[in-house]
A and B are shown apart, each in its own frame.
Chain A
Amino acid sequence: GDSVTQMEGPVTLSEEAFLTINCTYTATGYPSLFWYVQYPGEGLQLLLKATKADDKGSNKGFEATYRKETTSFHLEKGSVQVSDSAVYFCALYGNKLVFGAGTILRVKS
């Protein structure tokens, strides 16, 4: 069945550092791909999405490009802030939304 694999965390960075969180997927067909963010004690918020190959999703300085050839959807941000500290989930939607295990990001000032 469909699955998503994310890099394990926690990822600890200093403020203004460059962020990459790797995400690869296995799916039949052509799923839509998402990144969700979860702040402590809260629900999930959609961060960005891409619905077809080579699409780039972007929001709040975060970007991810749908790479069909490498079945990847890596999340990047050029300069992280302390307020970006959260858990980030990569997900795909084929006939249901399937999540990766999540990656904890901690940003130090």
Chain B
Amino acid sequence: NAGVMQNPRHLVRRRGQEARLRCSPMKGHSHVYWYRQLPEEGLKFMVYLQKENIIDESGMPKERFSAEFPKEGPSILRIQQVVRGDSAAYFCASSPSWMAGNTIYFGEGSWLTVV
């Protein structure tokens, strides 16, 4: 049973380009979460999605960032017009439902470097 799969693992973008990070949840999981870890910092919640719905995007920057989780295919975190401050590790996690007490499983992360 494959875990949460993220790709690419490492991505380098020039300032002004777009970055797309993909996340395939564990089999049977319909809830996806995105977190950002800036260098030397903890993990900050960005967005919580279910299939075709954004449930909580309170941690998403107001501009340039968007996320989706379509009916078919992986969840995508999209960063437009990247800046150096976007350089971070982006972690995706999934769970089978919203119930507290369910374990949330993390992917290995996507490391974005903006040059």
- Taking Cβ atoms with an 8 Å cutoff, the residues of A that contact B are 30-32, 34, 36, 42-46, 49, 51, 89, 93-102
Instruction: Tell whether, in the assembled complex, residue B91 and residue A96 are in contact, meaning their CB atoms are under 8 Å apart.
Output: no
Q: Per a CB cutoff under 8 Å, which of B41, B93, B101, B108 touches A42?
A: B108
| B contact face: mostly helix, strand, loop, or mixed | strand
Number of interface residues of B (CB under 8 A): 21
Residues of A within 8 A of B42 (CB): 89, 99-102
Q: How far is the CB of A39 from chain B (nearest CB, A)?
A: 11
Instruction: Tell whether, in the assembled complex, residue A32 and residue B106 are in contact, meaning their CB atoms are under 8 Å apart.
Output: no
Residues of A within 8 A of B33 (CB): 96-97
Residues of B within 8 A of A94 (CB): 100
Q: How far is the CB of A83 from chain B (nearest CB, A)?
A: 19
Query: Known contacts A89-B43, A96-B33, A98-B45; is A43 also within 8 Å of B106 by CB?
Result: yes
Residue of B nearest to A97 (CB): B104
Residues of A within 8 A of B25 (CB): none
Residues of A within 8 A of B109 (CB): 42-43
